[in-house]
Amino acid sequence: MAEEHHGGGGAAAPDIRVEAESSSEQSVASSRGVMPREDCVEGIRSALKHPTVRFLREQMEKAGCQVWPRLIQAATCSTAGGYASREGIKVCCNHMTLQDEINQVIIHELIHAYDDCVTKNMDWKNCAHHACSEIRANHLSGDCHYKRELLRGFMKIRGHEQDCVKRRALMSVKNNPYCSEAASKDAIEAVWNICYNDTRPFDRAP
């Protein structure tokens, strides 16, 4: 999920929040029940030690991106997590049931944060820009690993990963008030090849 606060323009009302819900699909694990907030906060601390989280933060720092102390915060919200320009990442503890979910939310949102920093003239109101970051975040974060897809009830094996990335990217972009469902589909198709194959910063991994 990526979101941006801004001041008007286009057809949407001023100060509207642009949101892209990327984790609204329920998994079998959701039956475990939501973890207590204090466990979620501790889970966020644990996630900071995850190799992929550490790598992404290091790459952001090398790129000159602002990685401030409260970049990642615990929150109560309507989706699993989000990123807002100049505000950082939120992990929605009222949706977390497992440490793996916290790790995945943070990795996904750090990719949005990386894109927001390194992409020239990044505009979350632009459907193609938004679609590109969602494609990258869903692909590179591991959100669409076949084991996670099986837990969500999607049983397809061959070609599952690209189908999952497109499905979850569409879920997000069509919730952007500047992007209709048709415009979201068109944007995903238009940028698919270049964005799906853009593996930055993981192409710099040792």
Q: Which residues are catalytic?
A: 109
Assess contact for 184 and 127: CB atoms under 8 A: yes
β-pair partners for 81? 91
**What does the chain look like in DSSP terms, one character per residue?**
--BEE----TTSPTTPEE---------GGGGG-PPPHHHHHHHHHHHTTSHHHHHHHHHHHHTT----TTSEEEE--SSSEEEETTTEEEEEGGG--SHHHHHHHHHHHHHHHHHHHHSTT--TTSHHHHHHHHHHHHHHTSTT-HHHHHHHT----TTHHHHHHHHHHHHHHTTSTT--HHHHHHHHHHHHHHHHT--TTGGG--
Assess contact for 35 and 93: CB atoms under 8 A: yes
